[in-house]
């Protein structure tokens, strides 16, 4: 799924985070008969979480850092993400 979501034939400039990407036919919630049952809840939670974060920490910014990923053949995730908000 992670490589499908970065398929250059499907997504122009696939490694760029583009919140306005449209159409965005990703498969992060799977597809077909086993499509994620919690996708609507997960989207709602994401909207509320990022909205609250932006409201409560308006100065939130990334610290300069080397990013390290958790070794995994399934999902790609960061070991840590350093931020500051002062
Ligand atoms: C960002 C959050 C989430 C992501 C990225 C995600 C992703 C996925 C993916 C990729 C699948 C398909 C797995 C497969 O094809 O074998 C799946 C299935 C499923 N998800 Fe999620 N999920 C999320 C949140 C949730 C939440 C919040 C719930 C429940 C409250 C949930 C419940 C389920 C269930 C029950 C299935 C199995 C559906 C089936 O096999 O018919 N998920 N999810």
Q: Is 38 in the pocket of ligand 1 (CB under 6 A)?
A: yes
Residue 82 pLDDT: 98
Q: Using one digit for the tens of pLDDT, what is the confidence trace for 40-60?
A: 999 999 999 999 999 999 999
HSE of 86, CA atoms in CB hemisphere, 13 A:
0
- Residue 37 Cα to ligand 1 midpoint, Å, equals 6
| Radius of gyration from C-alpha coordinates of the chain | 16
- Residue 86 Cα to ligand 1 midpoint, Å, equals 36
pTM for the model stands at: 0.86
Q: Rounded to the nearest 5°, which phi and psi values hold at 61? A: -150, 160
- Residue 56 Cα to ligand 1 midpoint, Å, equals 29
Q: Using one digit for the tens of pLDDT, what is the confidence trace for 17-34?
A: 999 999 999 999 999 999
Q: Quick one: DSSP state of residue 62?
A: E
Helix (H) or strand (E) holding 53: helix 39-56
CB 27 within 8 A of CB 5: yes
């Amino acid at each position: 799924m992670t490589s499908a979501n970065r398929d250059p034939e499907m997504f122009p400039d696939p490694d760029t985070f583009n919140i306005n990407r449209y159409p965005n036919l990703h498969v992060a919630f799977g597809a077909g008969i086993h499509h994620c049952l919690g996708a609507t809840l997960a989207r709602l939670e994401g909207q509320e979480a990022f909205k609250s974060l932006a409201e409560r920490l308006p100065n939130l910014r990334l610290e300069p850092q080397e990013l390290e990923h958790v070794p995994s053949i399934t999902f790609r995730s960061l070991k840590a993400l350093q931020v500051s908000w002062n």
